[in-house]
Amino acid sequence: MTSRSLAYVALATRDVAGAARVLGDLLGLPRQDLRFGSSSAPVFAIGETALALFAPEDAFLGEGAKPGVHHIAFAAEDPGTAGARLSEAGFRISDAPGGAVALEPMQSAGVRIRLSPALGFGVGCSDHVERIDHIGIASADNQAAIATFSGKLGCRVESQQTDMEVQIAVESFTSDRYGVVYHTRPPVPVGGLRVAFLTAGDCELEFLQNFDPNQAGQVAHGSAGNTRQDQGAIARFVASRGAGLHHIAFKARDIDRTLAHLRAAGVPLIDHKGRPGSRRARIGFCHPDAMGGVLIHAVERD
């Protein structure tokens, strides 16, 4: 790769105007309207990259696009030359609209990748959003993803961790003479995720692999999420769509203030306050309906 930075992230949304309202009017990100092939799309600068909004049926995305994070575009001054180098390294490539080059997703852990010139937006931020914190990827095999994205595409491994929810049973023995004795049984895992973060530009790619395939937590919308529900969401996504791009997270200056701001504006939320997340962060998810089927969440961390 000639560059590991991102040119843009393409989002497929059932409600382009509604998603643009969230990103522009509510989160305060600067907007421009740009041509992508034969399409025109609203584009929002965020950190050193950009978010581009498309309807799922937009020709720029290709056939069969579903709502969600559709593809990421690595910045390449000359996509053809960069694509030829990857082809020599064993990647299958094809032409994409707008002079871009697309990689075969089966060779990149299910992630749709294009090579495209940088948009030249500069840096975009607001009182609520500093940059993209990470792009979440539902993974079937984190080690294979690391081998591709780090070993072949040059993305540095930032960190790896295991997120796990456990149940701990506590027994009590109460005596009128000897008082109370508590005994704790060994913890029992009930759900978890293997997580790997790889750096791409000023954000990370977060690969999330189901840690226990026998568990599949159900998300109760309107109540706070938890690790087991996060794991269940990833497991269901891989089962229904296969491995691939899953969500996008924004780095917030004050997560509780941002979530309260969105809630006051009528944006449906899963988490109304920040809860513990990866890398000693606090996270809070919006409901996918907030962005027309695109799952987003806020992250607050040092």
Which range of residues forms the domain containing residue 286?
6-300
Which pLDDT score is estimated for 210?
86
Is this model's pTM higher than 0.85 or not? yes
Give the count of domains, the chain. Answer: 1
Q: Does a structural domain hold residue 25?
A: yes
* Cα torsion angle, 123, 124, 125, 129, sign: negative
The predicted-structure confidence for 92-120, as pLDDT tens digits, reads as follows 999 999 889 999 999 999 999 999 999 98
Which pLDDT score is estimated for 46?
97
Kindly state the percentage of the chain with pLDDT values over 90: 77
| Domain of residue 47, CATH code | 3.10.180.10
Q: Does a structural domain hold residue 1?
A: no
Q: Does a structural domain hold residue 114?
A: yes
How does DSSP assign 230-290, residue by residue?
Answer: HHHHHHHHHHHH-SEEEEEEEEESSHHHHHHHHHHTT--BS-SS-EEEGGGEEEEEBPGGG
DSSP 128: S
Cα–chain center distance at 108: 16
pLDDT tens for the chain, 302 residues long, are 445 899 999 999 999 999 999 999 999 999 999 999 888 999 999 999 999 999 999 999 999 999 999 999 999 999 999 999 999 999 999 999 988 999 999 999 999 999 999 998 889 999 999 999 999 999 999 999 999 999 999 999 999 998 888 889 999 999 999 999 999 999 888 778 899 999 999 999 999 998 764 554 444 445 565 665 666 678 788 888 888 999 999 999 999 999 999 999 999 999 999 999 888 999 999 999 999 999 999 999 87
